[in-house]
Amino acid sequence: MKKLQKTNLNDLNQELKNGKYMLFFTADWCPDCRFIKPAMPAIEAEYSEYTFLMVDRDENIDLAGEMGIMGIPSFVAYSDGEEIGRFNNGDRKTKAEVENFINSLSSTVAK
């Protein structure tokens, strides 16, 4: 999974203009983030139509604030520069919950 470098919302929107992206907001100190991290390679492989980007919430604290990311781990999905969904709270997330979230996006956007 590619790590998103420190950025701002304008630059991020430019990067996400074409294609499908899944932002994974996380932090090294976060126990709930560490809980889901081992499942991320399998999730990423299963949903290869998305480019997964890991966003260090602490490194991108201003971006997280601009995007309303108040809890981690959180996921935000984009298709051709438009946000199509988010799984944004501070609760521990299971692989099945993340997969259910991504599956729910297929009704918002054609694959």
Residues that are catalytic: 30, 33
CB contact at 8 A, 102 and 77: yes
Note the Cα 14 to chain centre separation in Å. Answer: 16
| SS3 track for 32-60 | HHHHHHHHHHHHHHHCCCCEEEEEECCCC
End-to-end Cα spacing for the chain: 21
CA–CA separation, 111 and 105 (whole Å): 10
Count of positions (residues) in the chain: 111
